[in-house]
Chains A and B, each alone.
Chain A
Amino acid sequence: SQQGEEDPQALSIQEGENATMNCSYKTSINNLQWYRQNSGRGLVHLILIRSNEREKHSGRLRVTLDTSKKSSSLLITASRAADTASYFCATIYGSGNTGKLIFGQGTTLQVKP
């Protein structure tokens, strides 16, 4: 399988704390994306980081990419109860415009009020 692997599978924190999720992948990528899924709903795109970028920010989200280790991390700062969801990394394999987007298994985040 070309899926990425996410760690941890589940994470439970208190509101206000930071949440860090990690993603590892197997082969060279064009970019790596993070998605969020509220329970039973469709996935929503959060942020994309290109293979030549090392860090990217969007609001309370910070994503890092280490292509030498084939890994990425998603940091959510000052978490809120509304951040409770599953988070997935996804990578494109193959040439960027025709490649397939393959998802990791996800991290389930629970933020307790």
Chain B
Amino acid sequence: DADVTQTPRNRITKTGKRIMLECSQTKGHDRMYWYRQDPGLGLRLIYYSFDVKDINKGEISDGYSVSRQAQAKFSLSLESAIPNQTALYFCATRDRGYTGELFFGEGSRLTVL
């Protein structure tokens, strides 16, 4: 099984719908991240969490919200999806240590029509 699991892997939805992307990890890391990837723009940080009670906005948090239900689970929600939120979304985890290496899930491809 993958260390960082994202569900769903693919989702097509309509404008205005509420969408939740889920991430769970078995690495025991306390830091979790949500990134968005668009062609030619690299990865942009949406939200990150250092523990269950510590959640922080990233570069592009508008239109998104998150929930850290447990150390192992970090969900990303789009309250009212719009077409320009069509993208590939990645969850990642990092240990507390200094090295900062991120471990990524396989991504959730979201299409908003």
Partners in one complex: yes
A residues bordering B, Cβ < 8 Å? 1-3, 9, 30-31, 33, 35, 40-45, 48, 88, 90, 92, 96-106
A33→B101 contact, CB < 8 A: yes
B100→A92 contact, CB < 8 A: yes
> With A41-B106, A42-B106, A43-B90 given, is the CB distance from A105 to B33 under 8 Å?
no
Contact partner of A103 (CB less than 8 A), chosen from B40, B42, B48, B96, is: B42
How far in angstroms is the closest Cβ of chain A from B85? Answer: 18
5 A-B contacts (beta carbon < 8 Å): A42-B90, A45-B102, A99-B100, A102-B45, A105-B41
10 A-B pairs with the lowest CB-CB distances in the bound complex, closest first:
A42-B104, A105-B42, A103-B43, A43-B104, A45-B101, A42-B106, A96-B98, A103-B42, A92-B100, A106-B42
A44→B104 contact, CB < 8 A: yes
- Determine the distance from Cα of A97 to Cα of B112 in the docked complex, in whole angstroms: 36
How far in angstroms is the closest Cβ of chain A from B89? Answer: 11
Which residues on the A side are within 8 Å of B107 (C-beta)? Answer: 40-42
